[in-house]
A and B are shown apart, each in its own frame.
Chain A
Amino acid sequence: MKVPILRQGACLIASVQDALSDAELHDLQARLAEKVGETGVGGVVIDVTVLDVIDSFATRTLSTITSTVRVRGAETVVVGIQPEVAFAMVQLGLSLDGVSTALDLDEGLAQLRGRGVADAAW
Chain B
Amino acid sequence: MPPGEGLGEASIAVNGDADIVAARSRAKEMASAVGFSRTNQTVIATAVSEIARNIVVYAGSGEIVLRAQRCDGRWGLVAVASDEGPGIADVEQALTEGYSTAGSLGVGLSGARRLMDSMEIDSEVGRGTTVTMCKWADRRG
Contact = CB atoms under 8 A, between A and B. Distances in A.
B5 to A, nearest CB: 25
Contact of A92 (B24, B28, B53, B111): B111
B101 interface: no
Interface stretch (A41-49, A66-74, A80-88, A102-110): A80-88
In this complex, the interface size class of chain B, counting residues with CB under 8 Å from chain A, is 20 to 34
Contacts of B39: 83-84, 87-88
Tell which of B104, B105, B112 has the most Cβ of chain A within 10 Å: B105
Contacts of B1: none
A57 B41 CA distance: 19
A19 B114 contact: no
B25 interface: yes
Tell which of B24, B53, B107 has the most Cβ of chain A within 10 Å: B107
A84 B53 contact: no
A68 B79 CA distance: 36
Interface of A: 19-23, 52-57, 59-60, 82-85, 87-89, 91-94
- Which 9 pairs of residues, A with B, have the shortest CB-CB distance? A92-B111, A22-B17, A84-B42, A55-B49, A84-B39, A88-B46, A21-B17, A93-B107, A88-B42
Interface of B: 17-18, 20-21, 24-25, 28, 38-39, 41-43, 45-47, 49-50, 53, 97, 104-105, 107-108, 110-112, 114-115
